[in-house]
Chains A and B, each alone.
Chain A
């Protein structure tokens, strides 16, 4: 019974319930929804579940970066535009290197895309950690500017390119699982190890709880803050690469458009508080999968894709309400031994997210 209660308290448990519910709805509409089959021409596994995994890869990448930024008490609104920058650089590079060795061109494209995004992320990081600007406004400006940079890179055009190895990033499979999803999970595991096997994750969380106190405790907030924004930008660029490799075209207005909201949503679904101070990598990954499932479900039910935001809104409203102390005390108040009682803890009152600022 206790285990059930713990599970109910784990926020990403609800994420998994959500995914299961959505898959159930799809299966009711079409009982063969979950079925996998082999495409006779390409010899690859196909199925709706694999589609969901493939489209979840970019969301996992931006959600992962966003997780650490939010854990420091910040926010990165520029990830969607960073995806566009990454995609634009990659497509332009591939186009100009057309004719040289495809593998070399692919690595050049990936390298340039990630490096340029990291430079932009470093600007974010500098403004937040050294200048002391609010993350919200810094990255809002970068969101505007990076979208413009993506346009400048491609000259305002939607560039397309051909490069077989790059195309396989999203369209290939490893043991029947989409390559981009495998790569995304590998990156998640790598970063999770780096965060949890070292004190890095702990330091990020301590900055999110109280930057002043953590500085007094000997943690230097600047390099860590700087680092999370660079990491977020780099991961967003990788997400952008996954996203453009699916269609081998970058749409300077469309690639990554509103995706920062998906990233934030994934992090919130995963149970990370937007106030910072803790993070769950598993949670954010579950959140990203839920969003990908939701996107696909809405399409599958025949609702116009433009209406998806309304469903995301309902999900986000339900989740933030479930996470709020008031609802929890209503729901669990009678049976649980929560010490906080029906009122909100004082610390949570009146701290709007934008007012969080780093003591530099």
Chain B
């Protein structure tokens, strides 16, 4: 891509430093319109999402039910958290293949700590810190030793998975009284008839907060704009005096820490159980969500909310396949691959048009 990158692509999104609060909304809309081309994949994902949900409702029923929706949201909360981290990494032009394995390590290590009597809350903080630690190593390798992101995080993937297996190859269970169970408490917002309740869990709230935090970081903070600049053109970003090194190491730390957080939420959701094989293929889900949501794999463009839509598309796809029951589970990966391919081709068409 670097050789074909045009000037327009090389310039990172215009910083909105001059914006005041009053014009923020109007300016935001204008900017969205101006950059509508990069929104096309995200819009396509939205259309696809609603199409799938409506199809599922018509074909199988009970899709637009509070019960179905809340269980879907709750079970995909960890994926949402991972997708936010992955968006930041991919916008910077990198990739993080280690997230699934980091979830496994954090979750096994955290539950073990709880079992040997470490305070539950402290263990959860440590789980996030473990994730961040993998991020530090990957970030330092990428930034200071010029190791490609792909290979650095691949090494972290091996390391985290291997260490998790060293700790335990059998499922382990957090103690009954551990506070981690609190994160999976069902809060009934609307008590519907039968099982049609709108419920949320603290885990889901954490995911929503991560999305909001990610949006603030990427679209409103100085550091987030540096991420876009690095993804657009690293040397320009450096020449502009942006703190490339610090930001890039930070990106991988964020991604690792979010993987640790996803481990906390997931472990709570499955009742405090941790296993070394957790999270196999989750990095692919996260990457697929990010790509479906309209983030360019070459970096420089992308929206946090787009990735959330991407997660919903994947969730809706799984929903249809489960509800249908006649689709062989063997076809699941082929279908996921096909959808991913369509969106990558769409990206390709759009970037080619912009380049010409």
Contacts and interface: CB of A to CB of B under 8 A. Distances in A.
B270 to A, nearest CB: 20
| Most chain B CB atoms below 10 A, which of A75, A141, A356 | A141
Contacts of B326: none
B340 to A, nearest CB: 5
A165 interface: no
B136 interface: no
Interface stretch (A56-64, A194-202, A331-339, A346-354): A346-354
13 contacts: A132-B352, A134-B297, A140-B340, A144-B340, A264-B151, A309-B165, A311-B162, A316-B154, A316-B155, A317-B155, A327-B145, A353-B150, A354-B149
Contacts of A156: 328-330
B284 interface: yes
Interface string A312-326: 111011001100111
B332 A148 contact: yes
A354 B297 contact: yes
Interface string A287-313: 000000000000000011011111111
Given A313-B157, A354-B297, 15 more contacts: A132-B348, A133-B345, A137-B297, A137-B340, A144-B333, A148-B333, A264-B151, A304-B165, A306-B162, A321-B141, A344-B146, A349-B146, A350-B230, A352-B94, A359-B4
A240 to B, nearest CB: 17
A308 B345 CA distance: 37
Contacts of B297: 134, 136-137, 354
B2 A133 contact: no
B234 interface: yes
Interface of A: 75, 127, 131-134, 136-138, 140-142, 144-145, 147-149, 151-152, 155-156, 210-212, 261, 264, 268, 274-275, 303-304, 306-314, 316-317, 320-321, 324-327, 344, 348-357, 359
Contact of A313 (B4, B95, B145, B159): B159
Contacts of B330: 148, 151-152, 155-156
B151 A131 contact: no
| Most chain A CB atoms below 10 A, which of B141, B148, B336, B352 | B148
B329 to A, nearest CB: 7
Contacts of A317: 137, 141, 155, 159
Nearest to A260: B154
Contacts of A354: 93-95, 149-150, 297-298
B131 to A, nearest CB: 16
Contacts of B328: 152, 156
A309 B149 CA distance: 18
A357 B336 contact: no
Interface string B147-171: 1111110111111011101100100
Given A145-B334, A304-B169, A352 B154 contact: no
A141 B158 contact: no
| Most chain A CB atoms below 10 A, which of B2, B145, B284, B348 | B145
B337 interface: yes
A148 B141 contact: no
